Chains A and B, each alone.
Chain A
């Protein structure tokens, strides 16, 4: 830390919260809590973003209606690659969803105050990503109106889910993850809602935030309970991150299909999930930093540490690539090698090499602090990782069935127009609520930032 300390360009780099040591507490509130109440400076840009998001959402709704009306045949799937795009995108979005909880809960428990600038937006990202992910398994069904049959609900048929099936686990995984994430973000935001209520000048804002704040008065007993509840949910969320991301790897893992049936998948998928999630956190953090001019709150030091995290989780993911590929050859099984060669050199080899390029080769630029601290470079790498992870999912999910056991069934796969439309549309599903959150919620956990500032100011002053 001494190097950063010595660097005059990065004031505050030596503090545990990465903020300038002397930053006035009021400035935090002004910068964050004032936004929803006094939105005028951002209105034009926000509307532009919102309308764009709505168009994407419109595309999503249109595609979803087509899919529901005409049947899953509108996807490019066939009897061989019968999962295709919906499951690919499900896994991609669900993976992204994991970083939010991880950053927020893990760093909370590890007492890393710098998380406070990032946890709110990361958690929001999680929820929206899980929603985007969760909609896919329903839309991919043959008879989506019966999706609830995979839930254990009492019925006259006395039929319940078949619990050996990882598809049944998915239902619980996604639902559980969504609920815990919602709880986590909500509990974490209660003091901020109270703060926003107190800042609000208009009656309707007072009522809105007042209801959300659940009567928070900042009493010590409130804080004591809150702290316990928040940490408890964080404790719940951490194992859930691992359970869910290894859980959806079982969807592939438990199939006796070469290319899926691999013991490295659960850790590989956890790493990949966190990796892609970090990438999206970086993209959003950089976006909000610019949109709201939060350079003081999301500091270069934040970017620096996010870059390091991205690099680290990228290597963990790369371990998955290497282990999976190595074991395939080491096993000596002919079909394992066939499938792996199809990934490396088959007609869809682009997906493997794109994953390697974006997730491994480009990533190495992050070894250089100058790159990590350069917003544009970091953004480019993060966007690259998102693309790379999508290609990785393609390589993992779509390539193996095209080289199934029986050569007679080998068949290619190509997505249709609606596959793409629905996928692009999910960005609308992601962005529209996100825009609304930007408009209405404090996007940085101000009280936690202030608390950290206060704590470490005292400590540093000593």
Chain B
């Protein structure tokens, strides 16, 4: 696999072993990171580590062998950074490396420019799982579905593995040759003709390098293209005269009013939003203020689903609602065309309530709403005194300029390309051929560029249209830095030696500038050379540079300037949205995400055209009918899906699909929406027509019924009574039932789980975390459609009320209930599912013969059967991702949630060694650990102080289907009903 063109490692400087030893002696138990280079203060050592010993094996002499052995001895944690290529068993077991015991390293993965701080778990050198970095304020240990899936991307066998020239595999030597020729030419021209297009980035190193590049080649031009970033910087510029980043402090906001803003939903900043909102909800539960969310939106989103009140509007009505609100808050005149009386009253009541909570409320508008709407929201927040309390502004996290130069946008680049000004175009870490709106004609313009160089993780659509394709290193096997949502700088250190012959972006830029052997690590260190070694080392251990969060800036929003509303157009309004599972398509090749049921629709493996129930009725559409959406001369054909709560005359179209070069997983799924998008109107277009094609397309959903039958599945309590203690609520277990069987001795401990439905926002982080932790296979669209999805944990979604405008909706994560009286245990004829001594309902894979009686008997239907051999033909690289502590199941056996028994055992062993009981919170299930709102709590039900018991004595605590007498140990805290605005005091 190693195709690197490294210099002969034997030429390298020998190590200063004395220094290493000296340092090692001083260090006791650093948890996250250990590097010999730090120890040795020897820059060349990093290179040595990269090359690692096996590559020198052929010419290994005795001295070399000893050196290598010595290295393996000393490389406590770093052995984790190497992927053994030839098995050389340890002669002497190195200290601190215990096979089977995981090593944790702090790192980060970036998404759309924002760093997601993580801890990476490695087993004998293999990264197997990511967790949120508990030290980082943005994460606090939580993570998102996208972050969880990053580990799979690291192992994706379809990642690009070597440079290509015109589609043919090439070498980095040739790249260097090309780069040096280009550099010479650019030097002559002052960089004229060099154009660089980047995705959003917050990397200080990249910015420094680009700054240096512009100093050398001042005529070079930089562009930015982040497909679904939205216009929030533009709006801030409109409101404040300069682009700023808006940071929401949801934990301080008792009332939140959101306009077309899916801040809980997938996106680069979803994590801090969810973490903060989770905290707000918790505080409200503890009696500290309220947590009320009001959402005005046209297309159903997670945020809308969690709103206590959701108002459905047509997108074009949005400015009128804002105007009405502004007027009610004393800003400007009302809308030219008044709102319906009932809505007007609602807005006025909301305005009154917000004013009553000035400084404790928050208004937000989506990044993709009209700029004047967003600017107005900035103004209104100022008027309400929220700035500095429930939100604050900082400089943009993602940099918009380098040196003097403001990064331009994609249309400007296309113009330059058309004008023939572009001699060499670098497209770094982006895929504009796929994501650019079709009206730009990016692909056509690109053809005219004499030298096109693409760098990316995959050989994608843009790569195929370029002369050169350079493989990028993944965030988890290369060095990088970038800022998290709060602006703090996260350091991404590799969890493993670079898999493929790839380079990081800083390495590429260095290479372009003539560095023949660029080192990502050295580039990074150069950026942060002000830090001394100790600080640098601590930063690596932590995963971020402390106290680098961006400081709030004082800005003041000017008065609202409304744009004239666009002329009314007949026809349907189109909204273009990123896909909640694969975003703009960059995650399309990840099976975990493709098979992840999308939060609202529970669809997998496809994107759809969302239509309102009324429109579906009028046009006679059913789910899966293929329709033709026409706007002007542009047409998109895709399957419809009826979305309760969608605006009547609005269609929602989701990006990320219709890809041709995503990889083996992501190709040829769904439809591409690019033809309908324009650069001028990338988020919303009016005047579309919809026609049935008469064809049908099978769609795979994991939940086809969203209306709960009866009130028992999702329970709710009015706020006044929800938190009251209920005497009859069993906190641990009901008293022993009458039974014919001998009673089982009481368990110690009794593991149980409490899931707070009020906290759960349905974000799916837990589902992917569970999949990553428990080696859950991906089964494919056809099998999902047959009802054979394998997720151990599913998040059910229910609506109540009228499908046209659902009153409320709820998410319910359903893992195994670990019933005390488990029907499955009765059903199994071969003792393959039994009650464990600590109350777990255990599944014994090698005893299971697959009668499926347990699954038939399970009222919760949480058991998953291996109908085929799902795992046998997995790619070797995918197999390496697997958690070695969890059995990979074969064909014909039943599986289900184990409460992450491997983690329980691990904690149990640690506790036994130290001769103490397992502490509360020491065992965290994968789902619990990932959950940004801490909706899932796991612990020992027999420990009176355990956090898992919190809320179990209140009225809103209930067990799912408790009337069946199964005595589940997973129980729920029901929803809290808030009175509607205007219906009595909240």
Contact = CB atoms under 8 A, between A and B. Distances in A.
A256 B861 contact: no
A70 interface: yes
A150 B787 contact: no
B966 interface: yes
Interface in B884-916: 891-894
Contact of A334 (B710, B814, B853): B710
Nearest to B741: A164
A314 B864 CA distance: 39
Contacts of B857: 254-257
B869 interface: yes
Interface string B830-864: 11000000000000000111111101110111011
B703 interface: yes
A165 B704 contact: no
B829 A71 contact: no
A157 B527 CA distance: 62
B856 A82 contact: yes
Nearest to B707: A407
Contact of B705 (A76, A142, A149, A410): A410
12 contacts: A71-B868, A77-B852, A79-B788, A81-B787, A143-B849, A160-B831, A168-B830, A254-B826, A255-B823, A257-B859, A405-B961, A406-B796
A166 B857 CA distance: 11
A97 interface: no
Contact of B855 (A82, A162, A165, A410): A82
A417 interface: no
Interface in A130-162: 137, 140-144, 146-147, 149-150, 159-162
Interface string B772-792: 000000000001001111000
A140 B713 CA distance: 32
Contacts of A140: 851-852
Interface string B794-831: 10111000000000000010100000000100111111
Contact of A142 (B794, B849, B964): B849
A82 B865 contact: yes
B831 A162 contact: yes
The 7 closest A-B pairs by CB, nearest first: A142-B850, A142-B892, A73-B867, A78-B787, A408-B796, A168-B829, A167-B829
B867 A143 contact: no
A167 B861 contact: no
Contact of A73 (B704, B852, B868): B868
B866 to A, nearest CB: 7
A406 B823 CA distance: 16
A392 interface: no
B708 interface: yes
A164 B741 CA distance: 10
Contacts of B848: 142-143
A72 interface: yes
Given A257-B859, A335-B710, A407-B708, A71 B826 contact: no
Nearest to B796: A408
A278 interface: no
B709 interface: yes
Interface string B23-46: 000000000000000000000000
A338 B709 CA distance: 9
Given A71-B866, A71-B869, A142-B852, 13 more contacts: A72-B850, A73-B783, A79-B787, A141-B892, A142-B848, A142-B865, A142-B893, A150-B851, A167-B828, A254-B826, A404-B859, A406-B860, A410-B704
A142 B814 contact: no
A362 interface: no
Interface residues of A, number: 50
A345 interface: no
Given A82-B865, A409-B861, A162 B828 contact: yes
A83 interface: yes
A164 to B, nearest CB: 5
B786 A78 contact: yes
A212 interface: no
Given A71-B891, A166-B827, A406-B796, A142 B866 contact: yes
B814 A406 contact: yes
Interface of A: 70-73, 76-83, 137, 140-144, 146-147, 149-150, 159-162, 164-168, 170-171, 251, 254-257, 334-335, 338, 401, 404-411
Contact size range, B:
35 or more
Interface of B: 703-710, 713, 741, 783, 786-789, 794, 796-798, 812, 814, 823, 826-831, 847-853, 855-857, 859-861, 863-869, 891-894, 960-961, 964-966
A256 B966 contact: yes
B698 to A, nearest CB: 12
Nearest to A161: B829
B850 A256 contact: no
Contacts of A334: 709-710
B809 to A, nearest CB: 12
Contacts of A78: 786-788
A409 B787 CA distance: 9
Could you say which of B705, B796, B857 has the most chain A C-beta atoms within 10 Å of its C-beta? B857
Nearest to A164: B826
B860 A77 contact: no
Nearest to A143: B892
A363 to B, nearest CB: 31
B879 to A, nearest CB: 20
A143 B830 CA distance: 12
B705 A82 contact: no
A220 to B, nearest CB: 48
A284 B960 CA distance: 51
A406 B861 contact: yes
Nearest to A254: B826
A170 B830 CA distance: 13
A46 to B, nearest CB: 39
B860 A405 contact: yes
A404 B859 CA distance: 7
Could you say which of A79, A149, A334, A410 has the most chain B C-beta atoms within 10 Å of its C-beta? A79
A162 B844 CA distance: 14
Contacts of A338: 709
A150 B859 CA distance: 24
A164 B783 CA distance: 33
B967 to A, nearest CB: 12
A166 B708 CA distance: 31
A83 B704 CA distance: 20
B712 to A, nearest CB: 9
Given A168-B829, A411-B704, A79 B864 contact: yes
A408 B866 CA distance: 21
Contacts of A409: 703, 861
A150 B867 contact: no
Nearest to B867: A73
B795 to A, nearest CB: 9
Contacts of A76: 786
B828 A143 contact: no
Nearest to B966: A256
A338 B797 CA distance: 20
A397 B163 CA distance: 58
A182 B786 CA distance: 41
B796 A77 contact: no
A319 to B, nearest CB: 26
A133 to B, nearest CB: 15
A390 B864 CA distance: 28
B423 to A, nearest CB: 56
A71 B827 contact: no
A146 B831 CA distance: 13
B797 A408 contact: yes
A83 B856 contact: yes
A254 B861 contact: no
A80 B787 contact: yes
B828 A165 contact: yes
Contact of B859 (A167, A168, A405, A410): A405
B445 to A, nearest CB: 48
A160 B847 CA distance: 11
A169 to B, nearest CB: 8
